[in-house]
Amino acid sequence: MPNIMITETCNLRCPYCFASEFVNKKPKEMTLSDFKKALNFALSDGKDRQLGIIGGEPTLYPLINEVLRMALEDPRSDPVMIYTNGVALENILPQNLEDAKFRMLVNCNSPEDMGQKQFDKMRENLMRFKKDHYGEGRFRLSVNLYKPDFDYSYIIPIVQELEFDTIRLSISVPPKSKVSEQTALEYFRSMKPVALSFIGDMIRCGTLTGFDCNFLPECVLTKEERDGLMKVKDIFYSGLSKNYSRNFWQRAILCETHNCTPVIDILPDLNAIRCFGLSEHTKVPIDHFKDIKELRKFYIDNVDRPIINCSSSPECKDCYNRECGDCTGGCHYFRDEQFFGGKNIELDDAHKDAFFDHTYRCPTCGGELGEDALYGGCSCC
Ligand code: SF4
Ligand code: SF4
């Protein structure tokens, strides 16, 4: 699912922030006309209709309701997911919150990390959203485990109160300054106890954890741990298989897929990155690519395929799972310096001199939409 980053401003300073290269440094905001181009490019695939709106904190973007409305009313999108910390949810108009295509993923941070006042506001907002706008599957929580002694106890009463059946779990990568202190596998081994304990506590709440792209590599778990988690997963699956997608089940409780594909985040200056884990080295301007399919292929050919030849831990060097591309050994972030040598990726010959205009056009008649034609129609149709 491609994401559009509409602002680099954020009201929090999360210690694990995966967008820290951008957020609150010299925060940029996307202009409305660039949002239209980014939207047009993000939905150019024809198959992938999902769209993410991200920041910084997207609810702080002054034109948040305009961009949401444009994205929601575009017939090519479904669903439109906003990634938020939930503190300033009142900035979104009820007509957008209630739209059938609207989805929300709330990064549920601890009071220690966001401050008690902001935490209380987020909690109140979540309860209000559930009461006023809740619809089946429109709203999910996400938790980022970022240190071995992470105290996630704050989340249990929220999950119970909201009666959620799933929660997204991410094992956040360490900050750049610390990444060389451990190999990827040493890091994931140190995170295993807190991750297993979290999964177990969620199961006791009747809540399924679904891994984000940052998961525990398979070899970090013992056979007993894998078998135990699979048994529990089978029980949930036998009763709930139809409730969730195949993709979700692959990542539920025990992640059964151990590699990732390009996410594609479009930044406020209309450069794209493969994902935030590789943001420092994968910036390319979207107007050098015909459509998002072509950009995805560029990343696969120039990053995903060759990077498997680098190992993020000594154990991965001779591992069959790495050689055949079944396991990335954790996030590519752990080997980005090794692979990119501190440089940004270069455009290949096919894209160096290419130019494509992604101006937003009326999806019905193809006419160019002006600044005032925000909502997917133009004067002639
Ligand atoms: S590539 Fe092999 S050794 Fe490395 S994390 Fe994956 S399974 Fe483990
Ligand atoms: S490299 Fe893969 S695991 Fe790491 S942030 Fe990117 S998509 Fe996620």
Ligand nearest to the CA of 303: 2
- 3-state SS assignment for residue 104: strand
Tens of pLDDT, residues 111-169? 999 999 999 999 999 999 999 987 777 899 999 999 999 999 999 999 999 988 999 99
Going from the Cα of 32 to the center of ligand 2, the distance in angstroms, rounded, reads 28
Say if 206 falls within a structural domain.
no
Q: What is the pLDDT of residues 300-314, one digit of tens each?
A: 999 999 999 999 899
Which listed ligand is nearest to 323 at the C-alpha?
1
| Residue located via tokens 């009201």 | 11
- Ligand 1 atom nearest to 320, measured from its CA: 2
Measure CA 148 to chain center.
Answer: 22
Distance 214 CA to ligand 2 centre (A): 7
Question: Given a cut of 70, is residue 6 above it in pLDDT?
Answer: yes
Whether the CB of 12 sits within 6 Å of ligand 2: no
Q: Is residue 342 part of a domain?
A: yes
In the block, which residue shows the tokens 């999360």? 14
| pLDDT (tens digit per residue) in 93-114 | 999 999 999 999 999 999 999 9
Asked whether the beta carbons of 241 and 250 are under 8 A apart, the reply is no
Task: Report pTM.
Answer: 0.94
The residue whose C-alpha atom lies closest to atom 5 belonging to ligand 2 is 277
| CA–centroid distance, residue 362 to ligand 2 (Å) | 34
Please work out whether the CB of residue 315 comes within 6 Å of at least one atom of ligand 1: yes
Ligand 1 pocket residue status of 217, Cβ below 6 Å: yes
Q: Which atom of ligand 2 is nearest to the CA of 215?
A: 3
Which residue, judged by its Cα, is nearest atom 6 of ligand 1? 329
Is there a domain that residue 277 lies in?
Answer: yes
If phi > 0 it is left, if psi is from -120 to 50 it is alpha, else beta; for residue 45 that is alpha
Reported as a single tens digit per residue, the pLDDT across 37-65 is 999 999 998 888 999 999 999 999 999 99
In a domain, 288, yes or no: yes
User: Which of 327, 328, 333 for a ligand 1 pocket mutation test, highest count of atoms within 8 Å of Cβ?
Assistant: 327
Estimate the crossing angle of helix 223-240 against helix 184-204, to 10 degrees: 40
For the segment 188-214, the average pLDDT, to the nearest whole number, is 96
Domain span holding position 307: 265-347
pLDDT at residue 23 in the model: 78
Instruction: With respect to residue 310, please indicate whether it lies within any of the assigned structural domains.
Output: yes
Looking at residue 134, what is its pLDDT? Answer: 79
How many Å apart are CA 150 and CA 148, to the nearest integer? 6
Ligand nearest to the CA of 186: 1
Grade residue 379 by pLDDT with cuts at 50, 70 and 90. Answer: low
What pLDDT is stored for residue 137 in this prediction?
Answer: 78
Better-scored residue on pLDDT, 20 or 324: 324
pLDDT band for position 363 (50/70/90)? low
Per-residue confidence band for 368, with pLDDT thresholds at 50, 70 and 90:
confident
> Is residue 216 in contact with ligand 1, taking CB distance under 6 Å?
no
Question: How many Å apart are CA 310 and CA 379, to the nearest integer?
Answer: 54
In angstroms, the CA 286 to CA 274 distance is 12
Q: Which of 107, 183, 193, 216 is nearest to 147 (CA)?
A: 193
The residue nearest atom 7 of ligand 1, judged by CA position, is 219
Q: What is the mean pLDDT of the chain?
A: 92
Q: How many residues does the chain have?
A: 381
Count of domains observed in the chain: 1
Residue ID of nearest Cα to ligand 2 atom 8: 213
Half-sphere exposure at residue 360, Cβ-oriented, CA atoms within 13 angstroms: 26
Instruction: Say if residue 373's pLDDT is above 60.
Output: no
Nearest-CA residue for ligand 1 atom 4 is 316
**Does the C-beta of 323 come closer than 6 Å to ligand 1?**
no
